[in-house]
Structure 1
Amino acid sequence: MGAWQYSVNLIPTLGVVREHGYVPRSITVPRVTPETLANVDAICDTRTNYWLALSDSFVASVEAQLESWLVETDSWSPNARMFGDDDTLDQLSIWRDDDRNLERINILFSLSNPDPDNLARLLAFPSLKDCLLLGIQSESVYIPTLENWLSDMRTCSAVRYLRGRDYPVPKGCG
């Protein structure tokens, strides 16, 4: 992840409610630090897979819509399909576990060269109405709307990074 990128995970509302009994305002994101790097696999194993036990048709619908958002690129992991845009530096990764179950969908949105149309296309996907976004830095859970996206994005370190480097801060970000 670049210092100029805002990171969110796409999580299914049904999976969140199944796990927590309700939709929490925040979900703790397991963190890897230089001190815990040797235990990265154990830390990653503590993540909840909200995609488990959802219908295959729902998962396939979400994946198909996301795959149309960006061009598929080479992946450095056999468990991930990666997509990207060389102009905006927006990225998408769809992760599967060793049993090939959908495990995680991560979106990195570039704030150094933001493309509002690209973001609008992403937020317009019909399957997102059954999903939530989890801000990786803020740990906030929110409905995928432009207003909520901008509100959470304002809190991320990418905005602070770009402010300190004479980049234009994206409109609506402070």
Structure 2
Amino acid sequence: MAAWQFAFVVIPVAGIIRAHGRMVEVLPEYAARVDDASVDADQVFPNYWEGFDNTAMQVVAASVLPVATSWCDEAAMYGNSETDDIEIWEDSVRVRLDCGNLNFALLAAVLNAVRAANCCVVLCAGGRIISPVLQLVTDALHASAATRFVNDPGGFVDARGAQLQGRFLSVLNRLGACIPVDLTAHATHHESRALPKNQISQRRLQ
């Protein structure tokens, strides 16, 4: 998924209640996409669409986006994977929107179909469930990482880099690793050890 895309999945409310015994606020399989969230890789998650017909979602997808070549026989795909697209799978309906050129008409049409099908919206960054109300979804979109990227690509990349570096150092600390203070000097030290003696001498004279 592109950094400028806001993504969510459409899931039947009845399917969530059937699987969890009640309506929940977050689906754990999507919460696992949040940084530092934990999930059992071997855990099997329910097919919330089992027993429900997603034809209505396929009809609206075909009405608002051109048919795309599907890379999988098990899915029908519409739109452009780099901008706006909808993927219809047996166990999910995935929607991605281009935050750099937001198509409100497309979003409104999709949400109308979601409400008509008695479904909800599950954000693909955290798994939070929200009602298919235009204002609620646009609020989530404007607060998303995709919008932050569109508004300030450089700042977004710098922030993500710092975040990833912090996570990396945290992991090394938990493992009890020794982290060199100056990684460049550390690399140069190892490089010099591998050089022939005459090259080492020349470097020291520079």
Picking from 75, 97, 121, the partner of 1:133 is: 121
2:84 alignment counterpart: 90
2:174 alignment counterpart: none
Greater share of strand = 1
Relative contact order, higher structure (CA 8 A, sep 6+):
1
Cα distance between partner residues in 1 of 2:95 and 2:114: 17
User: What TM-score do you get using the length of structure 2 for normalisation?
Assistant: 0.63
Q: Shift in Å at residue 126 of structure 1?
A: 6.6
User: What TM-score do you get using the length of structure 1 for normalisation?
Assistant: 0.73
2:13 alignment counterpart: 13
Count of paired positions: 148
Picking from 80, 87, 91, the partner of 1:103 is: 91
Say whether the 8 Å CA contact 1:67–1:83 is kept in structure 2: yes
Picking from 144, 157, 164, the partner of 2:132 is: 144
- Residues 80 and 150 (structure 1), Cα distance of their counterparts in 2 relative to 1, 3 Å cut: same
When the two chains are superposed, the root-mean-square deviation of aligned CA atoms in Å is 2.7
- Residues 126 and 151 (structure 1), Cα distance of their counterparts in 2 relative to 1, 3 Å cut: closer
Report the 3-state secondary structure (helix = DSSP H, G, I; strand = E; otherwise coil) of the residue aligned with 2:28.
coil
More displaced 10-residue stretch of structure 1: 104-113 or 127-136: 127-136
1:3 alignment counterpart: 3
- Residues 64 and 44 (structure 1), Cα distance of their counterparts in 2 relative to 1, 3 Å cut: farther
1:53 alignment counterpart: 51
Q: Which amino acid aligns with 2:84?
A: D
Greater share of helix = 2
Q: Give yes or no for the alignment of 1:66 onto 2:54.
A: no
Q: Which amino acid aligns with 1:52?
A: E
Consecutive unaligned residues of structure 2, counting only runs of 5 or more, are 34-39, 155-206
Consecutive unaligned residues of structure 1, counting only runs of 5 or more, are 33-41, 96-101, 167-174
